[in-house]
Structure 1
Amino acid sequence: MYQSLEQFSKSWIFKRNDPKIESEDLQQIRLLSEQRAAQIWRDYISDEQVHPDHFSDNDWPKKDSAKAPDGKLQWEKAWDSDQASLPEEVLTHFAAWGDDTTVFFCCHNELVFELPWGVFKRTWKAFLFLDNGPILVGKKKKQAAQFHTNGWLNLLFRSA
């Protein structure tokens, strides 16, 4: 179900001093096996496309109905700043999530991370070294966000 973070070719993102990830948080970041990642991707993201670059208008993240009102904002400015927390609009969008909510940071159908929301809030800057369209979703939750390479993100609502 899980594989070692050491097997991840870009594991250096979790070992940097800036942003520093505390060992207690690092222990809660789990890299899913490719088989489990594919299942989460199919269940939460797309059963047709394997990467965000390939989404069509049939995939929920591209649908207008999935986009939160005023849900397009910059993540890169906060990422570049000394500010440790996610942008306030992101925290507001996910306000219903408890810190123990299981979240999936989905890069593509073979690369998905599982961790608690509280850990993601503290370590988000490390994850955004992987900014090629990943989608953050919560287990059994409607709220989602997609991060784009151009420094923008879309706040989304997953369709059932």
Structure 2
Amino acid sequence: MYQSLDQFPKNWIFKRQDPKVMPEDLQAIRLLSEERAAQIWRDYVSDGQVHPDHFTANDWLNKDAAKVTDGKLQWEKVWDSEQSALPDAVLEHFASWGEDTTVFFCCHSDVVFELPWGVFQRCWKAFLFLDNGPVLVGKKKKHAAQFHSNGWMNLLLRVV
């Protein structure tokens, strides 16, 4: 179900001093096996596309019903700053999630990370070295977000 983070080719994102991922948080970050990642991707992100670059109008992320009013936000300015917390609008969007809510940071159908929401909140800057369209979803939750390499993100509501 899981594979070692050491097997992840870009594992350096979790070993940097800035942003620093604390050892206890690192232990809570799990890289799913390719089979389990594909299942989570199909169930939560897309059953037709394997990478964010290939999303179509048929994928829920691109449907009008998924878009949150005023949900297009700039994440990169906060990422580049000394501020460690996620932007306020992001925290408000996910306010119903508890610290222990299981979240999936979905890069593509073969690379999905599982971790608690509280850990993601502390380590989000490390994850956004992987900014080529990843989707953040909560297990059995409707709130989601997609991060884009142009420094913008979309706050979303999962519709299936």
What band does the TM-score fall into relative to the shorter chain? over 0.9
User: Percent of aligned pairs with the same residue?
Assistant: 76
Alignment of 1:1-80 (within 5 A): 1-80=1-80
1:107 aligns with 2:107: yes
Aligned residues: 160
Q: Distance in 1 between matches of 2:107 and 2:37?
A: 10
> What is the rounded CA distance, in whole Å, between the counterparts of 2:19 and 2:46 in structure 1?
31
Query: Which AA in structure 2 matches 1:21?
Result: V
1:30-84: CA deviations, max 9, x gaps?
0000000000000000100000100000000011110100000100000000000
The residue type paired with residue 72 of structure 2 is K
Shift of 1:110: 0.2
Alignment correspondent of 1:153: 153
Q: Can you list the C-alpha shifts for 1:77-114, whole angstroms capped at 9, x where unaligned? A: 00000000000000000000000000000000000000
TM-score (norm 1): 0.99
Question: Secondary structure, in 3 states, of the residue corresponding to 2:28?
Answer: coil
Aligned-residue Cα RMSD (Å) equals 0.4
Q: Deviations over 1:127-156 (max 9, x none)?
A: 000000000000000000000000000000
**1:3 alignment partner AA:** Q
- Is there any run of 5+ residues in structure 2 with no aligned partner, and where? none
Counterpart CA distance in 1 for 2:28 and 2:88 is 24
| Unaligned runs of at least 5 residues, structure 1 | none
Amino acid across the alignment from 1:113:
F
Structure 2 distance, partners of 1:64, 1:13, is: 33
- Partner amino acid, structure 1, of 2:148: H
SS of the equivalent of 2:99 reads coil
Distance of 1:21 and 1:150 partners within structure 2:
24
Matched to 1:103, the amino acid is V
Q: Distance in 2 between matches of 1:73 and 1:103?
A: 20
Task: Write the distance in 1 (CA, Å) between the matches of 2:37 and 2:128.
Answer: 18
